[in-house]
Amino acid sequence: MGSARITPQTLADYLDKVIATDFLKAPKTGAMIATYIKEQYDVNTTSGKITALLTRHPRNKRVKLADRPEGAKGVGNWYQLV
């Protein structure tokens, strides 16, 4: 049995749960966040959907674009709690 169909509002709810944890204290990519949501909540999503939600209000007030950590691998934008 696969993951349930996810709506943007439901994904936003899961993303808000992630923001409420310490997971984003260190910079993470959208792909890393999507993987974390899959592992914690069994919800499939893409890094693009994560990025779209993180750049909108109210999440863009709590999460900022961060510099890639030295020596870190991963493409795309990196996000960190403000």
In tens, the pLDDT along 22-35 reads 999 999 999 999 99
Q: Which residues contact 69 (CB under 8 A, 6 or more apart)?
A: 26, 27, 78
Residue 1 lies in a domain: no
Q: What is the mean pLDDT of residues 34-56?
A: 94
CATH number for the domain harbouring residue 60: 1.10.10
Residue 2 lies in a domain: no
CA separation for the pair 30, 23 (Å, rounded):
12
Residue 55 lies in a domain: yes
- Give the total number of structural domains in the chain: 1
Residue 45 lies in a domain: yes
The model carries a pTM of 0.88
Domain, as residue range, for 57:
8-68+75-81
Residue 14 lies in a domain: yes
Q: What confidence score (pLDDT) does residue 73 get? A: 87
